[in-house]
Structure 1
Amino acid sequence: MNAKNQLTAQSNLIGEHPKSGFFFDWFECEDTPTTANKKHRKLTNKGINRSTLVDHLSQWIIKHHANENRMARIERKKLILDKHGFAEYMEGRVPFPIKSATTQKGNLGEIILAEYLTETSGLEILVYKLRYNPNVEQSMKGDDLLLFEKQNIQNKIILGEAKFREIKSKKALDDIVESLSKEKLPISLTFISDRLEEMGDDVLANEIDNLITNLHSKKTPVTYVGFYHSEAAVYKTIENNLNSNNNNLVIVSYGENNPSELVKNSFDEALRMVMK
């Protein structure tokens, strides 16, 4: 392979940044120079139209928090209830957080990371965990993100962790690194297996059960990805402070001006789409 075309360490682990499509339009990508303890993919906003961005994110918010059947039930309620009655009925039933800004910020980070890695790695989400949150106003326990190679579950897995900070901090980076140490194994596989069984996919559920054994015996490699969403200069915190002995860890950063506003606008638009 020509040296010019060789993949970066980041691309070897999570795939190359898209060369077309929404993420290409949204993000400028730089895989910064690696060291023994640092693998960092820096994402910045190319200047995509804000309304286009919010529209995309709001659709993802709905997709990750409610399945098609639930959304269909909501649509049927709209036909039955008048506008005031529908709004009254929806109180406490909206399938994503509408009050907790902290939960919104955490959930959006998980959603962006999930959609991004699905495209770059080719791996898949088998269960949209946010659809099963018993309290939408609180962050859901367990792994932030698990991606699988559906055709060969034992081949590879991606374990992701997302954090949002309005003001960047070294501590948040250190927390990501600590939670994605090379000894860390997924804790949500039984949850995923149970949900797959409920959906009638016993074959895939059994594969996940077998994966638990393979992970403990280190037969299946794990790629670890931390996503840090914060202010525009967050990449500097990572470049100056990332220090991990986990060779399979990549930190993906996305910095922008006023990140809290993007979260709020996206959830407001998702709510508007459901209620309109």
Structure 2
Amino acid sequence: MPRQEDLIGTHPTPPNIFGKWLASTDHPETDSQCHRSLSPTPDLSEDELIDWLADKIILHHYNDNKVERLKNKYGQLGFAEYAENIRMIPNVDKVRKGNMTEIILCEYVLSSTNKPLIKTFRFRYSTNVDQSMKGDDVLMVDYDNEANDIEVYLGEAKFRQTPTPQVVKDIAKALSTDTKPLSFTFLVDRLLESDATAEMGNRLDQFVVETVKQQGRITYSGLLLSKEPCATTVQNHLDSDNQKLVFLSLGVADPTDLMNKVFTKAEEKLANPDQI
């Protein structure tokens, strides 16, 4: 089994959206590389992709309560006045790029592992939506109830209009063998806030991050979203001694154009909240 599959599972197949949108190649692994390249297929229209990604943007930024408030108040106050007051989607270009890339990585790992990973939608807790959030880009947990054990999935995601050797090195460095999940306590605290997830929060609270790391119970995934030569740049410059790191490259024709269309569609949906 290729190490890519061992770490995060096989590439999703249709009808999963990633199976329709992307083809994948698991490149031969080496001591310093474990790379899965992703590229668009003609099997998913741009409109379908943008609509799906816009829904994910809203899901990751708005909790159900805020969506319901939008639906209830829209007719009374009008979208512009009320929605701006509870705005969770960033306006800043750099933050939008980063958020979308993190969401794609999160959703891809969820799909490829095909496991009910425990997660929190961290952008819902941003105190300044136009500033990048600190902490892990992606943090999810697979909890084994019978063995009372966990596997942590830690991710780093970066957007570049044009791929560079330096960004490949930056992602690999951020996911070195020394990297620990800094947001684990944040995840537990969010779980403990709700009666529906408090029991799981209490179970995870017993695990010490340093011990989890020492036991090798962390899987690392990096994503570079960039133009189509992205895979070649990763192949030429990825160098990591972390044997539990799988590097994902996603090359599209114009990533900035994709980002702009996705956020425009998300704003259109929020302007008509009954469609959400």
Over 3 Å counting, the alpha-carbon distance change for 1:36 and 1:133 in structure 2 is: same
SS at 2:149 equivalent: coil
SS at 2:53 equivalent: helix
Counterpart AA for 1:230: S
Match of residue 105, structure 1, among 97, 100, 112? 97
Name 1:228's counterpart in structure 2: 224
Name 1:146's counterpart in structure 2: 139
Name 2:25's counterpart in structure 1: 30
Q: Does 1:129 align with 2:122?
A: yes
Between the aligned partners of 1:208 and 1:225, the Cα distance in structure 2 is 21
Query: Could you give the per-residue CA deviations for residues 37-91 of structure 1, whole angstroms, max 9, x where no partner exists?
Result: 000000000022111110000000000001111100111011322xxx4312222
Between the aligned partners of 2:36 and 2:213, the Cα distance in structure 1 is 30
Q: Does 1:192 align with 2:184?
A: no
Over 3 Å counting, the alpha-carbon distance change for 1:19 and 1:216 in structure 2 is: closer
Match of residue 253, structure 1, among 249, 255, 261? 249
Residues 143 and 150, structure 2, Cα contact 8 Å, conserved in 1: no
Instruction: Give percent identity, aligned residues only.
Output: 35
Counterpart AA for 1:56: W
Name 2:9's counterpart in structure 1: 15
Q: Does 1:95 align with 2:124?
A: no
Residues 155 and 220, structure 1, Cα contact 8 Å, conserved in 2: no
- Normalising by structure 2, what TM-score? 0.92
* CA RMSD, 1 decimal: 1.5
Name 1:45's counterpart in structure 2: 40
Between the aligned partners of 1:111 and 1:215, the Cα distance in structure 2 is 28
Between the aligned partners of 1:203 and 1:120, the Cα distance in structure 2 is 26
Residue 124 (structure 1) shift: 1.6
The within-5 A match list for 1:60-71 is: 60-71=56-67
Residues 214 and 220, structure 1, Cα contact 8 Å, conserved in 2: no
Between the aligned partners of 1:207 and 1:233, the Cα distance in structure 2 is 44
Residue 202 (structure 1) shift: 3.0
Residue 123 (structure 1) shift: 4.5
- The unaligned stretches of length 5 or more in structure 2 are none
Counterpart AA for 1:124: L
Residues 155 and 221, structure 1, Cα contact 8 Å, conserved in 2: yes
Residues 157 and 220, structure 1, Cα contact 8 Å, conserved in 2: no
Residue 217 (structure 1) shift: 6.2
Q: Does 1:159 align with 2:154?
A: yes
Name 1:212's counterpart in structure 2: 208
| Divergent runs of 4+, >4 A | none
Number of residue-to-residue matches in the alignment: 266
Between the aligned partners of 2:254 and 2:224, the Cα distance in structure 1 is 14
Residues 180 and 209, structure 2, Cα contact 8 Å, conserved in 1: no
Query: Could you give the per-residue CA deviations for residues 72-130 of structure 1, whole angstroms, max 9, x where no partner exists?
Result: 0111011322xxx4312222522211x21111110001111111110111252421111
Name 1:3's counterpart in structure 2: none
- The unaligned stretches of length 5 or more in structure 1 are 1-6
Between the aligned partners of 1:42 and 1:53, the Cα distance in structure 2 is 19
Counterpart AA for 1:149: D
Query: Could you give the per-residue CA deviations for residues 123-174 of structure 1, whole angstroms, max 9, x where no partner exists?
Result: 5242111110111111111001111114447331110010000011111111
Match of residue 74, structure 1, among 70, 74, 78? 70
Q: Which 10-residue stretch deviates more, 206-215 or 103-112?
A: 206-215
Between the aligned partners of 1:65 and 1:154, the Cα distance in structure 2 is 30
SS at 2:12 equivalent: coil
Counterpart AA for 1:75: K
